[in-house]
């Protein structure tokens, strides 16, 4: 009987131990599952955070680009407003130019006869003037007449050239020049050195200095001068050619004419 009572508690202890050991194994399995799930959750959280960070950076980049585009748009608006003002001014200028072109056409029709009269007047003046630089002055007049027939020269340029010719003729009255020329003297055709002193005296002298003469306005021809003018005229020619310092000269100048 005693043996049976002793065996029963041992069997209960073994059963209890078995149950305890079985419960521990189940608990460990549950913890592993929990840890595994937690790890997966953490991995998903890290992936989600990475995506969030990437989206944040992309959002910042897009925001910066958006602000840049806004600034460019504002700059373009300012630029367009300025262009609109310029276009409006250009349209106004076009209207003014159109009106000016119409006026130029009218003026050109009126100024062409004036220019022809100016050339005719200049030709008459040269014909009545002292006979100096005849070829040069005749070529200038021929050039002006030829220019008037050209369609590729603007009226403004034609008028400018005519005024320039008048200025050149005006300058002749203030300059002293010397040049070689062929003239008809009392001794026949001679190649001489001509001295022009403004428009008050036109004198010649042969290269050897043996003959000196002047243009006689009243007679319209060259006349010989006496030897007293030989040295002064030679010096005057040298002065005109910058070979001698400018000094006083004795010149044969005709007196004023009496007008009745």
pLDDT of 1 above 80: no
One domain for residues 141 and 42: yes
Read off the tokens for 55: 């989206």
- Average pLDDT (19-39) is 62
pLDDT for 230 beyond 50: yes
- Please indicate, yes or no, whether residues 40 and 164 belong to a single structural domain of this protein: yes
pLDDT for residue 89 is more than 70: yes
- 15 found inside a domain: no
28: in domain:
no
- Over 60: is that where the pLDDT of 258 sits? no
| Residue 151 and residue 67 in one domain | yes
Do residue 162 and residue 58 come from a single domain? yes
- Give me the percent of the chain exceeding a pLDDT of 90: 42
Range of the domain at 107: 36-172
Task: Please indicate, yes or no, whether residues 91 and 119 belong to a single structural domain of this protein.
Answer: yes
Average pLDDT over residues 102-112: 78
The answer as to whether 141 is a domain residue is yes
Residues 168 and 180 in one domain: no
Whether this model's pTM surpasses 0.95: no
Indicate the pLDDT class of residue 101, thresholds 50, 70 and 90. Answer: confident
**Cα angle: 158, vertex 159, 161; to 5 degrees:** 65
- CB 205, CB 233: distance < 8 Å: yes
92 and 191, same domain (yes or no): no
Burial (0-12, 13-18, 19+ Cβ within 10 Å), 51: exposed
């Amino acid at each position: 009987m005693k043996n049976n009572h002793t065996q029963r508690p041992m069997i209960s202890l073994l059963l209890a131990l078995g149950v305890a050991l079985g419960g521990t194994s189940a608990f460990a399995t549950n913890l592993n599952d929990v840890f595994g799930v937690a790890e997966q959750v953490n991995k998903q959280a890290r992936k989600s955070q990475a995506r969030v960070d990437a989206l944040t950076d992309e959002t910042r980049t897009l925001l910066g680009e958006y602000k840049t585009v806004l600034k460019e748009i504002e700059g373009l608006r300012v630029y367009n407003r300025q262009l609109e003002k310029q276009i409006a001014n250009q349209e106004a200028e076009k209207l003014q130019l159109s009106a000016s072109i119409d006026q130029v056409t009218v003026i050109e029709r009126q100024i062409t006869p004036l220019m022809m009269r100016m050339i005719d007047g200049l030709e008459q003046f040269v014909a009545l003037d002292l006979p100096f630089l005849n070829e040069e002055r005749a070529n200038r007049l021929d050039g002006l007449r030829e220019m008037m027939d050209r369609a590729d020269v603007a009226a403004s340029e034609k008028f400018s050239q005519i005024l320039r010719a008048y200025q050149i003729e005006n300058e002749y009255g203030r300059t002293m020049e010397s040049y070689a020329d062929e003239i008809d003297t009392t001794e026949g055709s001679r190649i001489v050195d001509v001295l022009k002193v403004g428009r008050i005296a036109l004198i010649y002298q042969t290269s050897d200095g043996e003959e000196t003469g002047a243009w006689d306005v009243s007679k319209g021809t060259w006349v010989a001068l006496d030897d007293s003018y030989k040295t002064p005229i030679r010096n005057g020619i040298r002065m005109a050619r910058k070979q001698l310092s400018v000094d006083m000269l004795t010149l044969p100048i005709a007196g004023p004419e009496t007008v009745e």
